[in-house]
Structure 1
Amino acid sequence: MLKIAVYGKGGIGKSTLTSNLSAAFAYSGKKVIQIGCDPKADSTLNLLGGVPLESVMSYMRVHDEDPQSLAEISRRGYKNILCIETGGPTPGLGCAGRGIIATFALLEDLGLFETYCPDVVLYDVLGDVVCGGFAAPIREGYAEQVLIVTSGEKMALYAANNIAVAVQNFADRSYASVRGIILNRRNVPDEEKKVKAFSAQIGVPVIADIPRCDDINHSEEQGKTVIETNPFSSISQTFLQLATLLGKEA
């Protein structure tokens, strides 16, 4: 089972990249789970036709009890991808990180991986703060590999460096390692040069270069990934190639 956590600054495009990568794996015949680990609970929108999925934390608030089955907190999306959103606390109350920890414990109790037997699990994780629950995919062994999404913007690179440091802090415990950097272009000056310098600084390769592309925006307007809209487009081929690269190590 290939277990990957996708980290990056908020707004850098993690959810778009993660859902397109999930779709690429599924298009290639893999059995995929995507778990959104962000209080906004919007990671899986483009796998579900743009229809929001009730998050685990929202379910527990509404029903005032833990769900008794996976069916209550998940939904099948494109190519049968199993979608789950951890969600977060009521805005202004509680800790979103604790919500992730509670959700992961619940999924273990419900036997998620034993029941579904996935080939690939993707965690879409907020990377502005790498503490507590947001570090759970790294710290608790849920993920084996980390992908860092960044542009050449200063704050995106700052967050990316924090993520790399956080992963390194767990290296002696045989937890997840950083597999690669994904450059999600914003077309800022010297963008490629800046990201390559960061790559050299932390000793991690840039394994994918995602251009700004209208096809992505047009697909999202339909609540879809580019893989679903047109798997033969050049941008879809970029995601399929990335899935192939990562899948070779599964």
Structure 2
Amino acid sequence: MAIYGKGGIGKSTTVANIAAAYSRAGKKVMVIGCDPKADTTRTLCGRRISTIIDTLKDNKKPELGDLVYEGFNGIKCVESGGPEPGVGCAGRGVIVAMKRLEQLHAFDEQFDVILYDVLGDVVCGGFSVPLREDYADEVFIVSSGEYMSLYAANNITKGINKLKGNLGGIICNRRGTDNEIKIVESFAERIGTQVIGIIERSNLIQRSELDAKTVVEYASDSVEADAYYKLADDIFENENYSIPEPMDNDEFEDFFKSFLD
């Protein structure tokens, strides 16, 4: 499963928590962070792990154990990494990482779930690798009901459409704006998909991240953890996929303005 969305919208939080939920359900899970910030697996490992790109700088012939770390409840964790800001193509790190993982037979192990946390307002270059190279069978987009978040989601669907990807739905990560759920549900319907889950804004989720833990680990009996358990189940059992039909920019502007008038 590839999880896309605007930078800062909560992809890493979503990926880490549903990974933790899957592992608690007895599933064998791998998480691959494809963001140069390399923070996807921090709450699963309790710290930032070395990225594949950084490891390759010092070790030209790494073994699989040098690249894959074990996190919460046995989850296998990987960070692709990338160049420093302003130096080189960020997506290049994803390409290098995936090729090296293949060479070392990282995917020979029988995982129940492999999750890719993918940066990008537009699915292009290295960030399209999980789809273009058939590493991911399913795509989900994290978005709030805010203008820029949905604008990015619409752009992402353009890439998914071109790559004939299977979009499983929108994960609404709420920011508390007016008519938020209605806007996201209307957007999903407009592009030919569904809202697969809703995550409410919560200080407890932020508190758990400050302790470098998922809320599933930090407060396993909380309402917030339950929301991630439900989301994980709904994604795993989902059979409703589509090739999305994105709006052009003018259509999107009119769509969003209709909720403000």
Q: Is the pair's TM-score, using the shorter chain for normalization, greater than 0.5?
A: yes
Q: Percent identity?
A: 46
1:107 aligned partner, one-letter code:
L
- Structure 2-normalised TM-score? 0.88
CA offsets per residue over residues 72-92 of structure 1, 9 Å max, x none?
012101010000000002332
Residue 221 of structure 2: aligned partner: 232
1:14 aligned partner, one-letter code:
K
Q: Does 2:19 match 1:22?
A: yes
Residue 40 of structure 1: aligned partner: 37
Residue 253 of structure 2: aligned partner: none
What is the distance in 2 between the residues matched to 1:30 and 1:96?
31
Q: Does 2:48 match 1:52?
A: yes
CA offsets per residue over residues 104-150 of structure 1, 9 Å max, x none?
11100000011x32110000000223111101111110001011000
The answer to whether the Cα contact below 8 Å between 1:35 and 1:124 also exists between their aligned partners in 2 is: yes
Residue 245 of structure 1: aligned partner: 234
1:12 aligned partner, one-letter code:
I
Alpha carbon RMSD of aligned pairs, Å? Answer: 1.3
Name the SS of the counterpart of 1:96 in structure 2: coil
Map 1:70-81 to 2 at 5 A: 70-81=64-75
What is the distance in 1 between the residues matched to 2:192 and 2:114?
25
Residue 138 of structure 1: aligned partner: 131
What is the distance in 1 between the residues matched to 2:51 and 2:87?
16
1:39 aligned partner, one-letter code:
P
What is the distance in 2 between the residues matched to 1:29 and 1:230?
18
- Structure 1-normalised TM-score? 0.92
Note the residue ranges of structure 1 that are not aligned, 5 or more in a row. none
Give the aligned length. 239
* Aligned with 2:161 (options 160, 168, 189): 168
* Aligned with 2:76 (options 74, 82, 85): 82
What is the distance in 1 between the residues matched to 2:84 and 2:181?
39
1:81 aligned partner, one-letter code:
I
Q: Does 2:199 match 1:206?
A: no
Note the residue ranges of structure 2 that are not aligned, 5 or more in a row. 240-261
Cα gap change, 1:215/1:40 in structure 2, threshold over 3 Å: closer, same or farther?
same
Q: Does 2:25 match 1:9?
A: no
The answer to whether the Cα contact below 8 Å between 1:53 and 1:74 also exists between their aligned partners in 2 is: no
Cα gap change, 1:153/1:48 in structure 2, threshold over 3 Å: closer, same or farther?
same
Residue 215 of structure 1: aligned partner: 204
